[in-house]
Structure 1
């Protein structure tokens, strides 16, 4: 990659981070910061705003890095690649943000508004990066309808994520609102599983030339894992007492996504079939 493209990518990341910061400033009335937060060491030293900005630079840089590594294998041409990727990460982050409703009892409108302040810039990040170095893949995909197999794939992810997370909730391995808000916790857990399954469908086809084990590892540990970890790191970066919870969440969630990915690829259909579903996003 030449210096000019590196500069373009850096400017895109910085611009999207600045947009993220501005949106959070405008949506401050919808913020859910506790009155007397137990701040982390970093937040105590540099302040809440600077810590949040540091997280944004880190998370958006990770999102950009992942895209640049996989862009040649994402279906579509040019900006459509960025559209798929940006929409996928935005969906993951927005869905994850809504957990605050069941976990902390925050109003859902607040979580959606604040979540969109991150989702919109990261979606734009994907779209803009799609212009930097567009690529194509040799396969073409059908644009006809939404086959039943798509819904079966989402069902695998939703069911496995729901069952695994509830086991972790029940034994107290992960903080949750299962006691105080059981209905909300159930709804969010199901929603999150469906969101992960949807991103798998949108991005899965670029691995159609790879072995099963490689495809699963790439989605679970790289595409999902890195973007998931970068989002979850906001809490331990800003507040104290969340590091262990985040590590357990990562271990549990990546295990569940690995299982769901394997079942989807091995029992629902081939990569080419899954790839045909991706046409619904572009």
Structure 2
């Protein structure tokens, strides 16, 4: 973490700027379109008039984790520093963007609102990644691991299997019974995007064994960000925190299984 110790003030400043941008864009987007979250009970933060400060603190933690992970892995990622940051921003901006479309299935959100909410998260995350690359990154051209698109499909398949296990056996909140086609399309797209994140960032994975590499991707690179993404809804409405951990935990377990299967049986050096 030498890069973080050296550039900590840059990281904090970039995170703060991008969080402010994110909140401004969300405020403007709310004037154009609104989510159908009124069907849920308001969260404790809403009830006590603490929504705005809670969203700011949440966003600072969320973007802060995202930024810290980049600084931690960027020295292993090949490419010019701005390109590394740009690709990192696309990776997690895309994760949030695609994730937003699940709202169409869960609470009958509109396609336009899901697109808009995803876009206003995508833009600040992309900007943050690019700025982090420019101001805290390093140019690396000697660490290009063999990339294979097969990894995208293996991880996507495992994500789909895991989600349908959660839908049918664990009974997490879903619409697979009443909207089977929409649920499958979203699950497929989200799984493919997780695979794309692995494809882009696999050189940044630390660990010597296949198991440790699978854990590093599933917990450090993806897991922390995926968990924070799901906690956003808990700021707005009353939801079970345990259900969030079950939902995210099962996702990550099967994603890590996908990484393990790919690295153990299909990866060629």
Structure 1 residues 57 and 207, CA, compared in 2 at 3 Å: closer, same or farther?
closer
> SS of 1:264's equivalent?
helix
1:54-95 CA-to-partner distances (Å, cap 9, x unmatched) read 321121111111111111112212112211211111111111
> Is 2:109 the partner of 1:96?
no
Q: Aligned-pair distance for 1:7?
A: 2.2
Give the secondary structure class of the aligned counterpart of 2:220: helix
| 2:137 alignment partner, one of 127, 134, 138 | 134
Greater Cα shift, 132-141 or 111-120: 132-141
- Structure 2 equivalent of residue 9 of structure 1: 11
**Which whole-Å CA distance do the structure 1 matches of 2:6 and 2:216 have between them?**
29
Verify the 8 A CA contact 2:29 2:116 in the aligned structure 1: yes
C-alpha distance in 2, partners of 1:70/1:142? 14
Residue 265 of structure 1: how far off its partner (Å): 1.5
* Contact persistence 1:173–1:248 (CA under 8 A): no
Pairing 1:55–2:58 present: yes
- Cα pair 2:143 2:203 within 8 Å, conserved: no
- CA deviations over 1:179-225 (Å, ceiling 9, x no partner): 22111111101111101000000000233873322221111100000
Deviation at 1:31, TM superposition (A): 2.3
Equivalent position of 1:207 in the other structure: 205
1:228-243 superposed matches below 5 A: 228-243=226-241
CA-to-aligned-CA distance 1:135-193 (integer Å, 9 cap, x gap): 244526599xxx9x41x222212211112211211124310011221111111011111
How far apart are the structure 1 equivalents of 2:39 and 2:250?
30
* Unmatched segments (≥5 aa) in structure 1: 273-282
What is the DSSP-based 3-state SS (H/G/I as helix, E as strand, rest coil) of the residue aligned with 1:233?
A: helix
State the SS of the aligned residue for 1:76: coil
Q: What SS does structure 2 have at the residue aligned with 1:171?
A: helix
Which shifted more, 34-43 or 86-95? 34-43
The alignment status of 1:34 with 2:32, answered yes or no, reads no
Match of 2:112 in 1: 109
Alignment of 1:75-224 (within 5 A): 75-137=78-140, 139=142, 141=144, 149-150=148-149, 152-207=150-205, 210-224=208-222
Instruction: Describe the shift of the 1:120–1:108 C-alpha distance in structure 2 as closer, same or farther (beyond 3 A).
Output: same
> Is this contact kept in 2: 1:235–1:242, CA < 8 A?
no
Number of matched pairs: 266
Q: 2:266 is matched with which residue: 265, 268, 277?
A: 268
In structure 2, stretches of 5+ residues that fail to align are none
Report the Cα distance in structure 2 between the residues aligned to 1:194 and 1:36, rounded to whole angstroms.
30
